[in-house]
Amino acid sequence: MKKIASLRRLAVALLVSGVSLHAAAQAFADRTIRVGHQAQPDAPISQAARKFAELVAEKSGGRLKIKEFPASQLGNEAQQLGALRGGTQELFIPTTTSLAPVIKEFGLLDFPFLVSTTAQAEALLDGPAGAALLERLPAKGLIGLGYWENGFRNVTNSARPIQKPEDFSGLKLRVIPNPVFIEAFKALGANPTPLAFGELYGALESRAVDGQENPYVLIDTSKFYEVQKFASNTNHVYSPLIVLAGKPFWDKLSDSERQILQAAFKEAQAYQRALSRQATTSAMAEVKAKGMKINDVSPAELQRMEAVVRPVTDKFAATYDPAITRGFFAELQKIKQK
């Protein structure tokens, strides 16, 4: 009886959306879909993944079941990307940075000081510029459903507040192993040090590195306030997440199943972004309460920082597909003029 009731609910939903009951019977199979990510189970990514699963189950009458694997249970970023492309994993939610080795034009999203607000970031990612990057994925065995939010990255350190470009001078900063990040921080006068995230707390505690840069939620959940004194609102990079499907999995789905996943993603996207911003506000308050000294950086000094790193971004942009790069920066200019 429960299965009949589920099918009836599914039939009503599909008829409303213009899909016939006969098509529904042909279009759906019972599937368990694994989604992996690297965040902890209490993070906004994890909460949104569970919301996504609820929406998919509801829209498919329970036929499509998403099972979440947080905290790198399915492997690191490279391993999960490989599993998607090889057909042994269905979904993965990494940062877009992890895609730059696969499609180097995704490195555009790592350029410092591209956007200054979340509204600008959404317009860029959800518009033609973000779509042009997604269109590159199928040739590499991946399908991009779209973008979620990791948040703006900010600098913490144990030496001094960062208020102007000169304050970076001599600071040994842990950065992700990304050439754009490494060269940008070198241009600012810092000593960028690529280091695995799992080693970062110990390196900060022992003063092997002076500081690091990450969104506030990660600064809080990683307890960096225990080993860092200063947090500066540089907002130097907006860090997106991307919800990926493996093409081998995607190609097995019916059009109706794909439509359900895409519709559920869209609803979960709004939920995740709102959750991420609430979590950022809470995390800032939390690290301040735990003793970190937080400072803003004036717009004039942020402009000076952007000017310092511009030769770096120009250099990398010149190595990317010219059509993608031109379209990306033309769209960005339109957004900033609004």
Residue 21 has a pLDDT of 39
- Average pLDDT of the chain is 92
| Cα–Cα distance for residue pair 212/228, rounded to 1 Å | 9
pLDDT in tens, 312-330: 999 999 999 999 999 999 9
Domain ranges in the chain? 2-337
Task: Work out the widest C-alpha separation in the chain, in whole angstroms.
Answer: 70
Number of H helices, E strands in the chain: 13, 9
pLDDT in tens, 217-254: 999 989 999 999 999 999 999 999 999 999 999 999 99
Confidence of residue 177 (pLDDT cuts 50, 70, 90): confident
Class in CATH terms, 2-337: alpha beta
Check if the beta carbon of residue 323 is closer than 8 Å to that of residue 331.
no
Residue 43 has a pLDDT of 86
pTM assigned to the model:
0.88
Q: How many CA atoms does the CB half-sphere of 293 hold within 13 Å?
A: 9
Q: Return the closest-CA partner of residue 231 out of 182, 165, 291, 161.
A: 161
Residue 198 has a pLDDT of 80
Q: β-pairing, 293-296 with 230-246? A: parallel
> What 3-state class would DSSP assign to 51?
helix
pLDDT in tens, 124-158: 999 999 999 999 999 999 999 999 999 999 999 99
Q: β-pairing, 293-296 with 191-194? A: unpaired
| Cα–Cα distance for residue pair 275/310, rounded to 1 Å | 32
pLDDT of 103 above 60: yes
Q: Which residue has the tokens 């225990």?
A: 226
- Collect all residues with Cβ–Cβ distance below 8 Å to 231 and sequence separation of at least 6: 154, 155, 156, 216, 219, 287, 292, 293, 294, 295
User: In degrees rounded to 5, what are phi and psi of residue 181?
Assistant: -65, -45
